[in-house]
Copies of this chain bind each other. A is one copy, B any other.
Amino acid sequence: MNEALFTANNLWLLVATVFVFLMHLGFATLEAGLIRKKNTVNILFKNVMIVSIGLLTYYIVGFNLMYPGMNEGGFFGFAGFGLAAPDAPAIEYADGAYTYWTDFIFQAMFAATCCTIVSGAVAERIKLGAFLIFATLFVSISYPITGMWKWGAGWLDALGFYDFAGSTLVHAVGGWGALAAIILLGARSGKYTEKGIRPIPGHSMPLAAVGVFLLWFGWFGFNGGSVLSANPMSVSLVFVTTSLAAAAGAMGAFIASYFLFKTHDLSMVLNGILGGLVGITAGADLMSPGEAIIIGGIAGVIIPFSVVFFDKLELDDPVGATSVHLVCGIWGTLAVGIFGSMAGMEQFVNQLIGTAAIGTFTFAFAFGVMFLLKKTIGIRISKEEELKGLDIAEHDMAAYQDIENVQSYELSVK
């Protein structure tokens, strides 16, 4: 391959990697903003650790589980621990080429995102140790195995299932993990009472808004990088469909939440943007701009209804992660069978099979691990710890210091 073209293609994947990396900050600030002050250090801690655990375990086992380079059409493969030597040749794929290292680091940045999705849903009541063990197993075993089924040339790929950048493989996987976890964990104290559902508003809407903008920013790398080359027509189309779906998601959530709640609910519009982004992810390369707007708009409309639905079931999800990533992830995956250049009944059935198979495996894995943790070390903090907040209970630290402590100390000793 032409050296300059190789360089440009590889460069785009690296830049996309950096953009995807920033999604971890996006998740951290979004989740921190949507929870209470007293659990903020804890959620930041978890998000920082997840990126680190995700990268390290993807180096140790994840990458070789997800891309075993054997058993094409199979259910499981493993190419061994660690990474091969740095003189590995360039990987050619579709109309691009990139290096082995580029392949690893781009994929590694994806891996940690599904745990971050779980992190938001279980916020404010999970034990730190239990969560870190769960996250380690989820990201290093469950995510790469189902990832292999499609992106590692496994059986779903052979079947014809399509998921461009991970509406199912990343987002619904994180969403299923979140669902399993919140079922076993139970709701936050005081959320569902005899007098009805008590809203627990997030402590900082600026942090939440920062998070959504950064996630949108990162999604240009997430979807744009999934072209796996810098092919001008493909990447630029993906940019257009991704952006318009996000914008339509905002609009859909704006209208639907006004209809439902008779107010202009910022958190719904923020989640509507994320819903639109998750929804377009499976078919961002297949849709026309108009179809992207329809898919994103429907995802946005789904958001407030889904949030109400989970609340009715008393499944407490402080940040709406199940609505955004699970429900809109499924919607986006199925939409590939309804809209765009692959639409058709056969494709729709394939999308259903992939959704169901990956959902079943992931939910079972996550439920099993969480169940074992619940029966052994325990997954839920005590009532007293919940009242005090995880920041003090687990970290001996407050997220914000309002008192100028040395000043007051000095004045007091005068």
Contacts and interface: CB of A to CB of B under 8 A. Distances in A.
Question: By CB atoms of chain B within 10 A, which of A21, A396, A399, A410 has the most?
Answer: A399
Contact of A213 (B22, B191, B202, B402): B22
Contacts of A230: 7-8, 10-11
Interface in A59-98: 59, 82-83, 86, 90, 98
Contact of A8 (B8, B206, B411): B8
A269 B90 contact: no
Contact of A231 (B7, B83, B188, B207): B7
Contact of A406 (B36, B83, B221): B36
Contacts of A134: none
Interface residues of A, number: 124
Interface in A38-63: 38, 40-41, 44-45, 47-49, 51-56, 59
Contacts of A29: 206, 210
Nearest to A220: B18
B82 A399 contact: no
Interface in A235-290: 235-237, 239-240, 243-244, 246-248, 250-251, 254, 261, 263-267, 269-270, 273, 288-290
A254 to B, nearest CB: 7
A153 interface: no
A308 interface: no
A266 B2 CA distance: 47
A36 B389 CA distance: 22
A404 B36 contact: yes
A312 interface: no
Nearest to A239: B105
B389 A198 contact: no
A217 interface: yes
A108 interface: yes
A94 B210 CA distance: 37
Contact of A209 (B48, B205, B273): B48
A323 interface: no
B17 A239 contact: yes
A328 interface: no
Question: By CB atoms of chain B within 10 A, which of A200, A407, A409, A411 has the most?
Answer: A407
Is chain A's binding surface mostly helix, strand, loop or mixed? Answer: helix
A288 B4 contact: no
Contacts of A9: 7
B36 A401 contact: yes
Contacts of A49: 250, 254, 269
A37 B205 contact: no
Interface in A355-393: 387, 389
Contacts of A100: 236
Interface in A186-214: 188-191, 198, 200-207, 209-210, 212-214
In order of increasing CB-CB distance, the 4 nearest A-B pairs are A101-B236, A4-B4, A25-B213, A10-B232
Interface of A: 2-12, 14-15, 17-19, 21-22, 24-25, 28-29, 32, 36-38, 40-41, 44-45, 47-49, 51-56, 59, 82-83, 86, 90, 98-102, 104-105, 108, 128, 188-191, 198, 200-207, 209-210, 212-214, 216-217, 220-221, 224, 230-233, 235-237, 239-240, 243-244, 246-248, 250-251, 254, 261, 263-267, 269-270, 273, 288-290, 293, 387, 389, 394-402, 404-407, 409-411
29 contacts: A6-B232, A7-B8, A18-B19, A21-B216, A22-B213, A25-B214, A40-B206, A44-B209, A45-B266, A47-B209, A48-B266, A52-B250, A56-B244, A56-B247, A59-B289, A98-B232, A100-B236, A101-B240, A189-B406, A190-B409, A191-B406, A198-B406, A201-B405, A203-B402, A204-B401, A205-B399, A266-B397, A387-B411, A389-B404
